[in-house]
Structure 1
Amino acid sequence: MKKKILLVITQGEEGGAQRYVVDLAKYLIQHNYEVFVAVGAAGERDNWIFSQLIAEKFEKNHLFVVPDLVREINPLKDFLAFFELIKLIKFLNIDIVHLNSSKAGILGSIAGKILNKKVVFTAHGFVFNEQSSFLKKIFYLFLERLASVFRDKIITVSEFDKIEALKYKIIAPEKIVAIHNGLDPELAKNILDKKSAKNFLQKVLQKRGLFAGKNIFDYKIIGSVANFYPVKGLENFIKIAYNIHKKRQDIIFIVFGDDGQRNKLERLIVDLKLSEVVFLPGIVPGAYKYLKCFEVICLTSIKEGFPYILLEALLAGIPIVATKVGGVPEVLKNALSVKLVEVKDIEGLSSAVENILFKEKNEENQLPVEFEMGEMGRKTLQVYESL
Structure 2
Amino acid sequence: MKIVQLITHMNEIGGAQVHVRDLSKQLAMDGHPVTIISGGDEIIADGLLIEEVTYMHSKFLIRKISFIKDFLAFLEIRKKLKLIKPDIVAIHSSKAGIIGRIACWSLRIPSVFTAHGWAFTEGVEKKKQRLYLSIEKWVGKLSMKVITVCDQDRNLALRHQVLPSEKIITVHNGVMDSKNTSLEKGNREVVKILMVARFEKPKQQLELLEALLHIKHLNWQMIFVGDGSLKRASAQFVQENYLGHKVTFLGSHSNVAGLLSDADLFVLTSAWEGLPLSILEAMLHSLPIIASNVGGVKEAVRDTENGFLIRNNLSELLSILIENELLRKNMGEKSREIYEASFTFEKMYTKTISTYRNLIVSGENG
Q: Could you state the TM-score of these two structures normalised by the residue count of structure 2?
A: 0.89
- Show the counterpart of 2:165: 173
Native 8 Å contact 2:223 2:248 kept in 1: yes
CA distance 1:29–1:315, change in 2 (3 Å): same
Q: Is structure 2 residue 98 aligned with structure 1 residue 106?
A: yes
CA separation of 1:311 and 1:133: change in aligned 2, threshold 3 A = closer
Matches within 5 A, 1:208-247: 219-245=190-216, 247=217
Please name the residue that 1:119 is paired with.
111
User: Contact 1:288–1:309 (CA<8 Å) still a contact in 2?
Assistant: no
Structure 1 counterpart of 2:322, from 350, 353, 357: 357
Deviations 1:349-379 (A, max 9, x none): 1111111121141312312232111111111
Tell me whether 1:183 sits opposite 2:175 in the alignment: yes
Q: Which runs of 5+ in 1 are unaligned?
A: 196-216
Which of residues 140, 149, 152 in structure 2 aligns to 1:157? 149
Shift of 1:225: 0.3
Within the alignment, does 1:258 sit opposite 2:227 as a pair? yes
Provide Cα deviations, 1:321-366, integer angstroms capped at 9, x if missing partner: 1111111111123984311123xx2xx1111111112114131231
Aligned match of 1:373 in 345, 363, 366? 345
**In the alignment, is residue 24 of structure 1 matched against residue 50 of structure 2?**
no
Return the offset for 1:129: 1.0
What is the aligned residue count? 349
What CA distance in whole angstroms lies between the structure 2 residues aligned with 1:240 and 1:351? 9
In structure 1, what is the equivalent of residue 363 of structure 2?
Answer: none
State the Cα distance separating 1:281 from its structure 2 match: 1.6
Supply the distance in 2 between the matched residues of 1:251 and 1:133 (Cα, whole angstroms): 34
CA contact (8 A) 2:179 2:257 kept: no
Q: TM-score, normalised by structure 1?
A: 0.85
Unaligned runs of 5+ in 2: 360-366
SS in 2 for 1:231: coil
Per the alignment, residue 83 of structure 2 pairs with 91
Are the counterparts in 2 of residues 50 and 63 from structure 1 also a CA contact under 8 Å? no
Q: CA 1:330–1:102 in structure 2 vs 1: closer, same or farther (change >3 Å)?
A: same
Aligned with 1:193 (options 183, 189, 201) = 183
Deviations 1:198-246 (A, max 9, x none): xxxxxxxxxxxxxxxxxxx76322110001121112111111221121x
Q: Deviations over 1:125-165 (max 9, x none)?
A: 00111534433321110111122122100000000000000
Q: Tell me the CA shift for residue 5 of structure 1.
A: 1.1
Q: Secondary structure at the match of 2:192?
A: strand
Report the CA distance shift for 1:70/1:386 in structure 2 as closer, same or farther (over 3 A).
Answer: same
CA 77–269 in structure 1, closer or farther in 2 if over 3 Å, else same = farther
Distance in 1 (CA, whole Å) between partners of 2:123 and 2:239 is 27
* Alpha-carbon distance in 1 for matches of 2:64, 2:97: 14
Partner residue of 2:128? 136
Aligned partners of 2:20 and 2:210: how far apart in 1?
A: 33
Q: 1:99 is paired with a residue of what secondary structure?
A: strand
Contact map agreement 1:7 1:38 (CA 8 A) in 2: yes
**Counterpart of 2:175 in 1: which secondary structure?**
coil
- Rounded Cα–Cα distance in structure 2 between residues aligned with 1:73 and 1:267: 32
- CA gap 1:15/1:159 in 2 versus in 1, 3 angstroms: same
Q: SS of the residue aligned with 1:127?
A: coil
> Which range moves more in the overlay, 274-283 or 318-327?
274-283
Counterparts of 1:291 and 1:50, CA distance in 2: 20
Whether the aligned pair in 2 keeps the contact of 1:298 and 1:320 (CA below 8 Å) is: yes
What residue identity is the alignment partner of 1:234?
Q
- In structure 1, the partner of 2:364 is none
4+ residue runs of structure 1 moved beyond 6 angstroms? none
Q: Does structure 2 retain, via aligned residues, the 8 Å contact 1:223–1:296?
A: yes
After superposition, the CA RMSD in angstroms is 2.0
Distance verdict in 2 for CA 1:133–1:284, change over 3 Å: closer
Partner of 2:67: 75
Most deviating of 328-337 and 286-295? 328-337
